[in-house]
Amino acid sequence: MRELEKIEVDTLVVGSGIAGLQAALDLADQGYSVAIVEKAPSIGGKMISLSKVFPTLDCASCITTPRMASVSHHPRIKTLTYSTVDAIKREGKTFTASVTRKPRYIDEKECISCKRCEEVCPVYLPDEYEQGLGAKKTISIPFTNAIPQLPVMHPEHCIRCGACARACPKDCIEFLQEPAPVEIKAKAVILATGYETTPMTAKKQYGLGKLPNVISPMAAERLLAPHGPYGRVLRPSDGMVPGSIAYVQCAGSRDKSIGVPYCSRVCCMYAIKQAILLSGSLPIADITIYYMDIRAFGKGYEQFYNNARAMGINFVKAKVARITEDEKHNPILRIERQEGDSAPAEVKHELVVLSQGLLPGCDVSKFNLGAGLNDFGFVQLSDETVSSAVTAGAGVFAAGVVKGPRDIPDSVVDAGSAAMEAASYIRKL
Amino acid sequence: MDEKITEASSKDNYRQEPKVGVYVCHCGGNISDIIDVKAVAAALAKYPGVAVAREYAFMCSSNGQDLIAEDIKNLGINRTVVAACSPSLHELTFRNVLQRAGVNPYLHEHINIREQASWVHKADHAGATAKAIKLAQAGVEKVLRKDPLNAIRVAAEPRVAVIGGGVAGMRAALSAAGKGLEAVIIEKAPRLGGKLLELGKMYPSGEEGPAIAGKLEALVRADKKITVHTGADIDFVGGFVGNFKINFKNADGTSSQVKAGAIIMATGYQHYKPAQGEFGYGEDANVVTLPEFISLMKNSPAGRLEYSGKEIKSLALIHCVGSRQVEGIHKPQADGKINDYCSRVCCSSALYAANQVKDKYPGVRIYDVYRDIRTYGMQHEEYYDKASKDGVLFLRHNEADQPVVTSDRTGHTVKVKDVLTWGEELEVKADLIVLVTGMMPADISLIRSQMKMPVGADRFLQEVHLKLRPVEMANSGVFIAGTAQYPMDVPEAMAAAGTAAAKAAILLAEPDIPLEPFVAVVDEHKCTGCGLCPAECSYDGALMMSEKNGKKIAVVNPALCKGCGACVAVCPTRAINVAGWTLDQFDAMVEAIAKE
């Protein structure tokens, strides 16, 4: 272990997705100091890996990177990436967080982000940023617009060839680097730990993630992203351009059988958005969305849905009972239509996206901060008709999906109000 | 102090003879692998006005920054050109270096030789180098003609005016006051609470509307930083960021004025009022709206759901009345437009009300006629689930096949082409028809027209950007809270209001508001008073014709000018320039680039 680093700030923000970034900025711009702890090697959360965002079809990077840059340049915000919050202790009116900076195996202060190490590294591994659809080097900067622009080495894959160390112009490579402990003292805590999508393995009937051409919506985002793994939409099994694509809605929400009875709020809209983007990149492809109810409830969303219908995207009210595949890995959907002909039918598509729901990204109960959780692990507010951020734990506030599924506009708005509650709380201490 | 615009003092270094330092960055090979950076530095060292030219691996690193700071200290460099990456990345970094070293930060020019030279001319090293030299020389010419600039500072009233005293307005005022700001709520009704005062039991907490409003009102009344004006009839809203004025008449006929640095629009919504005859509304007494039904339920005796003295044994809910309207199917509203948006909260409200009926009067039959059930919130799906379990019968229709309500002596009939039973025409009898009406923005036409506030096609107040600036209006210093922006439920309005207060608090964090110095500046000697420029200006009040010493001239209000340059383009005498981006500077840059 390296020497203990001590940081003292007004507020600790856990998580640097769009909600965490916005909450930090809204506090820092009012004059409060903030420390953000992010477990991933870059700030930006889930949003930075999306292609475009509904209902305006702005490129996700174009919306996220200015926020990331503002945070990283802000004189009152300290950002700790590739770091985990191991525990938070409350002592009187002060929170003390024990944080571990994971080793990147480089000297972070000296690194000039020149990528020479990445260029010479001979070992490739699946790139989780590209949802496994692309490859990265064992030492690499996590993605193009990552902040900070620092490479991470994965020692479990490193063959100790030393090529990176020889290529580095600043002699930064540290094969023996150890985790570094950090202690953060703060007056308030904002939980912005976001979500994970329901796993591909959640539903046996949908192939448990074993059917190669049944993919997650996050993988579809990468296929559609302008700087994605292939630069175009190809299906995983054989690299073919799919001619018929289906979305299975509520594949992980509104489903008691997998313990997620609630609506995940974003899946209808992201499916519609991806369908619109797909019909842009694959103009002759057939796109079908199998749904229960289309929940286009936000500002401009109904109009977005109407545009998708006008573009010829098929909306079929049907339950998908089972997904199998033929010998060419074409997914076969067994569906029961809820309108028109209701007899069960089998429909073949060439690529299927499971519209997965949202689960809590982190079990925040482990911090013992007094913030209650609901039955599904999301943070419960003390009275949501009075404040949208105050939890039962004094000085503990929540922003974004940590309280339950919500889309980007709702999360951004939510974050500002969490910042405001934290500011009022600190002022009254 | 009213509209005083203060200028921070500036360093006098522009009076000294210009000494330009040029710094060429390798960007770790990004630039130096293609461009001969030593040749660029050598060429620039010989250029007129340049005192020193250097190249370095990473100008942005702290060593690189120190290099510049030392030249400022030791060589008296008072203007800098950095030829490196995009200015969006590091212009601010180098401006800060100048500031720290005691030079006006705007005496810096950032030249992009990475995106604009090395990255785009990878195959042509000599060409890229020549281009980099030209760009850097143009930068020198520009920086030689730069004037020191200072942020324009507008003194601000340390007060937030909240228009509307519903739950969103009260939350916004509470949050602003929590931060130590004065907040003034201006409410036209005699009481605080807005639309909630009319509503009965509400999801998610099951409290009655007035009780929810009451909780917030108690907090508002206890907060010394908040002033409340009820029964206030606003007749004027004007001014600009930091210095707004709101005039209103009080209930007793007297007039008041509130001065504020920021305005929060919490003007709320109105229930959609069905047209005469829409599903029989207004013609048949037994056709009511959901808000009317909720109050009716509140007033019913315990064992019997009653309306006009008669027992209601069955009712039909019809969703999407006044929402999700379709061109050609629905009649347009008074302004000729249809309500094509989803009102977001009505599905959950309707099912929550249906469940209350089933709990209190289990015998009542309920039909729910819908297009999509949008119970999106965390617990909302439970309302849908419970309603289905309790025997609410759901009938789903397509938008093209609207349900039809008819009444005769035997009662009321809803005819639905139900897609759930394969498009069969079903007729259900109901004692009461409940129209699940949506939301429309409250009528705020006076304020909107006085402030030129933008609205969307849905007539709700329009934010600048749904994700980047979701509660800010294009009118600087004006923020939106709650249903003035779009339909939302109470918890959502709390979030929006808190954020609106956060934005106001950020704006008013300092006693004066710093604005970018890049605004139009008029040369009074050159201005002929022709009056062409104000017509081009898109920002009301930013550029106006005025009289000075008996001469007509254009006058800029730097607090309102956005520096777009539209006025510069039409001025026949080159009397207007945007500070930091003057025509002389551009002329000199073009000359430098075009020179053989």
Q: In this structure, which CATH number among 3.40.630.40, 3.40.50.720, 3.50.50.60, 1.20.950.20 belongs to the domain B272-439? A: 3.50.50.60
Q: Output the domain CATH number for residue A311.
A: 3.50.50.60
Amino acid occupying residue A346: E
In a domain, A174, yes or no: no
Q: How far apart are CA A377 and CA A403, in angstroms?
A: 9
Q: Do domains B272-439 and B519-578 have the same CATH topology?
A: no
Write the residue in A296, A338, A381 that is nearest to B420 by C-beta.
A338
- Alpha helices, DSSP H, located in B56-124: 62-75, 87-100
Q: How far apart are CA B415 and CA B433, in angstroms?
A: 12
Q: For residue B209, report the phi and psi dihedrals to the nearest 5 degrees.
A: -50, -55
Q: How far is B543 from chain A (nearest CA, A)?
A: 30
Q: Flag whether residue A26 sits within 8 Å of chain B, measured between CB atoms.
A: yes
Q: Are residues A139 and A84 in the same domain?
A: no
Write the residue in B28, B467, B491 that is nearest to A114 by C-beta.
B28
CB pairs under 8 A between A and B: 189
Summarize the confidence of residues A226-254 as an average pLDDT: 93
Calculate the dihedral angle through the C-alpha atoms of B542, B545, B546, B552, rounding to the nearest 10 degrees: 150
Tokens at A278, concatenated: 């797909």
Q: Cα A215 from chain centroid?
A: 16
In a domain, A108, yes or no: no
Q: Are residues A207 and A153 in the same domain?
A: no
Classify the phi-psi angles of A92: left when phi > 0, otherwise alpha if psi is within -120 to 50, otherwise beta. Answer: left
Amino acid occupying residue B75: L
Predicted confidence at residue B15, as pLDDT, reads 60
Residues of A in Cβ contact (< 8 Å) with B206: none
Boundaries of every domain in chain B: 1-151, 159-268+442-509, 272-439, 519-578
Q: Are residues A70 and A156 in the same domain?
A: no
Q: Flag whether residue A307 sits within 8 Å of chain B, measured between CB atoms.
A: no
Q: Best interface-test mutation with A: which of B223, B340, B342 has the largest number of A CBs within 10 A?
A: B342
Evaluate the CA torsion angle A156, A159, A161, A163 in order and state its sign: negative
Predicted confidence at residue A338, as pLDDT, reads 84
Predicted confidence at residue B1, as pLDDT, reads 33
Residues of A in Cβ contact (< 8 Å) with B338: none
SS3 B249: strand
Residues 333-372 of A with CB under 8 A from B: 338-342
Q: Which residue in B has a C-alpha nearest to residue A400's C-alpha?
A: B495
State the ipTM, two decimals. Answer: 0.95
Q: Flag whether residue A113 sits within 8 Å of chain B, measured between CB atoms.
A: yes
The CATH classification number of B1-151 equals: 3.40.50
- Alpha helices, DSSP H, located in B21-86: 37-45, 62-75
CB-based contact A300 B28, cutoff 8 Å: no
Summarize the confidence of residues A244-255 as an average pLDDT: 96
Contacts (Cβ under 8 Å, ≥6 apart) of B254 = none
Q: Are residues A189 and A209 in the same domain?
A: no
Residues of A in Cβ contact (< 8 Å) with B378: 262, 374, 378, 404-405
Q: How far apart are CA A305 and CA A296, in angstroms?
A: 7
Q: Are residues A41 and A156 in the same domain?
A: no
Predicted confidence at residue B90, as pLDDT, reads 81
Residue A1 pLDDT > 80: no
Q: Residue B124 is inside which H or E element, if any?
A: none
Summarize the confidence of residues A397-412 as an average pLDDT: 97
Predicted confidence at residue A181, as pLDDT, reads 97
CB-based contact A295 B216, cutoff 8 Å: no
CB-based contact B61 A31, cutoff 8 Å: no
Q: Are residues A183 and A208 in the same domain?
A: no
Predicted confidence at residue B411, as pLDDT, reads 85
Q: Are residues A163 and A187 in the same domain?
A: no
In a domain, A110, yes or no: no
Predicted confidence at residue B4, as pLDDT, reads 37
Q: Which residue in A has a C-alpha nearest to residue B338's C-alpha?
A: A303
Query: Pick from B437, B438, B436, B447: which is nearest to B266 by CA?
Result: B447
Q: How far apart are CA A144 and CA A137, in angstroms?
A: 13
A148: DSSP letter: S
Domain termination residue (choose one: A316, A333, A357): A357
Residue A137 vs residues A48, A115, A350, B480, B592: alpha-carbon distances, Å: 20, 11, 31, 47, 45
Q: How far apart are CA A111 and CA B58, in angstroms?
A: 11
Write the residue in A339, A408, A421 that is nearest to B467 by C-beta.
A408
Amino acid occupying residue A224: L
Residue B481 vs residues A417, A418, B176, B489, B495: alpha-carbon distances, Å: 11, 15, 12, 12, 9
Q: Are residues A366 and A397 in the same domain?
A: yes
Residues of B in Cβ contact (< 8 Å) with A30: 179, 502, 505-506, 509
Q: How far apart are CA B461 and CA A125, in angstroms?
A: 49
pTM: 0.87
B583, B574 contact by CB (below 8 A): yes
pLDDT in tens, A138-183: 999 999 889 998 999 999 999 999 999 999 988 999 999 999 999 9
CB atoms within 10 A of CB B359: 10
Q: How far apart are CA B206 and CA A391, in angstroms?
A: 19
Q: Which residue in B has a C-alpha nearest to residue A255's C-alpha?
A: B381
**Is domain B519-578 in CATH 3.90.480.10, yes or no?**
no
For chain A, what is the domain count? 3
Predicted confidence at residue B12, as pLDDT, reads 46
Q: How far apart are CA B380 and CA B354, in angstroms?
A: 13
Q: Which residue in A has a C-alpha nearest to residue B468's C-alpha?
A: A63
Q: How far is B326 from chain A (nearest CA, A)?
A: 10
Q: Flag whether residue A174 sits within 8 Å of chain B, measured between CB atoms.
A: no
In a domain, A279, yes or no: yes
Q: Are residues A47 and A183 in the same domain?
A: yes
CB-based contact A420 B498, cutoff 8 Å: yes
Q: How far apart are CA A187 and CA A193, in angstroms?
A: 19
Q: Flag whether residue A31 sits within 8 Å of chain B, measured between CB atoms.
A: yes
CB-based contact A385 B57, cutoff 8 Å: no
In a domain, A132, yes or no: yes
Q: What is the β-pairing status of strands A139-140 and A134-137?
A: unpaired
b/e burial code for range B197-218 (CB count within 10 A of at least 16 → b): bebbbbbbbebbbeebbbbbbe
pLDDT under 70 in chain B at which residues? 1-15, 62
CB-based burial of residue A297 (10 Å sphere; 0-12 exposed, 13-18 middle, 19+ buried)?
Answer: buried
Write the residue in B204, B458, B506 that is nearest to A384 by C-beta.
B204
Q: Are residues A186 and A206 in the same domain?
A: no
Domain termination residue (choose one: A334, A357, A380): A357
Residue A373 pLDDT > 70: yes
Architecture in CATH of B159-268+442-509 = 3-Layer(bba) Sandwich (3.50)
CB-based contact A414 B495, cutoff 8 Å: yes
Q: Are residues A222 and A314 in the same domain?
A: yes
CB atoms within 10 A of CB B539: 18
Range of the domain at A342: 199-357
Predicted confidence at residue B300, as pLDDT, reads 84
